[in-house]
Amino acid sequence: MVDTRLDAVPNVEIEEGIYKYVLIKVYGKDESNHKNIVRGYADCQWHSDIYDRSSESCKGIGLETECLGGGRIEHNPDLKLIKVYGYSQGFGKADHAETRRILLEKFPNYEIQISDEGY
Q: Looking at residue 117, what is its pLDDT?
A: 76
- Class level of CATH domain 4-114: alpha beta
Catalytic residue among 34, 47, 75, 96: 47
Q: Looking at residue 119, what is its pLDDT?
A: 61
Domain boundaries, the chain: 4-114
Nearest to 36, CA basis, from 78, 69, 1: 69
Q: Looking at residue 115, what is its pLDDT?
A: 94
Is residue 13 within 8 Å of residue 38, measured between CB atoms? yes
Q: Looking at residue 1, what is its pLDDT?
A: 46
Torsion of CA 3, 28, 60, 14, to 10 degrees: -80
Is 75 among the residues known to form the active site? no
Q: Looking at residue 61, what is its pLDDT?
A: 93
CA 2 to chain CA centroid, Å, is 22
Beta strands in the chain (DSSP E): 12-13, 17-27, 34-39, 64-76, 81-85, 111-114
Asked if residue 20 belongs to a known ligand binding site, the reply is yes
Instruction: Spell out, as residue ranges, where the chain has pLDDT lower than 50.
Output: 1
